Amino acid sequence: MHKKRVFSGVQPTGNLHLGNYLGAIKNFVDLQNKFECVYCIVDLHAITNRQDPKELESNILETVASFVAAGLNPEKNIILNQASVAAHAELAWIFNCVARIGWLNRMTQFKEKAGANKENASVGLMVYPNLMAADILLYKATHVPVGEDQKQHLELTRDIAKKFNNDFNCGEYFPIVEPLIPKEVSRVMSLRDGKKKMSKSEESDQSRINLKDNKDLIDQKIKKAKTDAASIPTEVGGLKNRHEASNLVSIYASLNNIKVENVLKDFGGKNFSTFKSKLSESIIEKICPIGDEINKLLKNKDYLYKILENGSKKADLIAKKNLKEIYDIVGLKKFS
């Protein structure tokens, strides 16, 4: 039996949004009181797409600030940046040799991100899920809080763990991880198109609520959010094929920690303008204090660097010990 440990990661690509918050970071905060947690700013993942070095550095700090502003306690959790712990990249190489090319070819996120010109995507983008498996398994994490878009990557992590355990005949050396995906809103969708995921790479800023948006901007974006002509349904079945309506109701449910059916009990039969003003209020109440705190924390860069330094040292101790075991299993020796 493995000791329960939570691991998750967020890319420092700027503009963390409501999808990152409701899909992942809100859950990180809830879990910190129940498990030993490791939360990682995955800077090595970010460079699978070209990054401006100066911007990358400031986005890393902004991601630490967002974690803390959302309620993560740096004393209680290990908060690190991936580049500080070399074993992430070392284990990823071992997994490059365990995972099969066919497995990676099936990854839908690679297809989406590489777009039409697959030949021109970085090799890093292709093997990215192996690095993600390494992030998690390096700490022998058992539970991984993520949004629904990462589910396929976690299935691959499970396949890699099983194949490694089997190939090297080492029992259940690597745990078979459990994804923790929020029920009410597993995938927050764009405010402009309910079939597309809310994303930092989407060109229109109107499509998302950023954690640093102010009250007026949030109000304006929700007023403009796409809906349909019908009123709010009274039953969950009435949301079927109404992607935009379903998204807004789910966001409200998640922010208020209630079930979608209870939102429909309160708002069923009402029009969207009434609902939207309540939704704006909820978003403003939860998100604006986080945005204010991010801005405050960003004024104290030394404090944010200290969090990463302390967290990375703690993570490195676990990682080095586990990597030594893994090298022994594989038959590799380190002489330095």
* 218 exposure class (CB count in 10 Å sphere: 0-12, 13-18, 19+): buried
Q: Which residues bind ligand TYM (CB under 6 A)?
A: 7-11, 19-20, 23-24, 42, 45, 132, 135-136, 144, 146-147, 149-150, 153, 187-188, 197-198
Residue positions annotated with a catalytic role: 113, 197, 200
* 83 exposure class (CB count in 10 Å sphere: 0-12, 13-18, 19+): middle
Other C-beta atoms lying within 10 Å of the C-beta of residue 34: 10
Output the smallest distance, CB 2 to ligand TYM, in A. Answer: 16
Q: Between 197 and 276, whose beta carbon lies closer to ligand TYM?
A: 197
Q: Between 186 and 214, whose beta carbon lies closer to ligand TYM?
A: 186
The two three-digit tokens of residue 221, written as one number? 């974006």
Strand boundaries in the chain, DSSP class E: 5-10, 36-41, 78-81, 143-145, 178-180
The two three-digit tokens of residue 291, written as one number? 């945005």
Q: Between 197 and 221, whose beta carbon lies closer to ligand TYM?
A: 197
Output the smallest distance, CB 144 to ligand TYM, in A. Answer: 5
Q: Between 74 and 147, whose beta carbon lies closer to ligand TYM?
A: 147
Angle of CA points 294, 23, 220, to nearest 5°: 60
Output the smallest distance, CB 67 to ligand TYM, in A. Answer: 11
CB under 8 A, 24+ apart: contacts of 106-109: 106/152, 107/152, 107/153, 107/156, 108/152, 109/149, 109/152, 109/153
Angle of CA points 246, 279, 183, to nearest 5°: 45
Output the smallest distance, CB 271 to ligand TYM, in A. Answer: 26
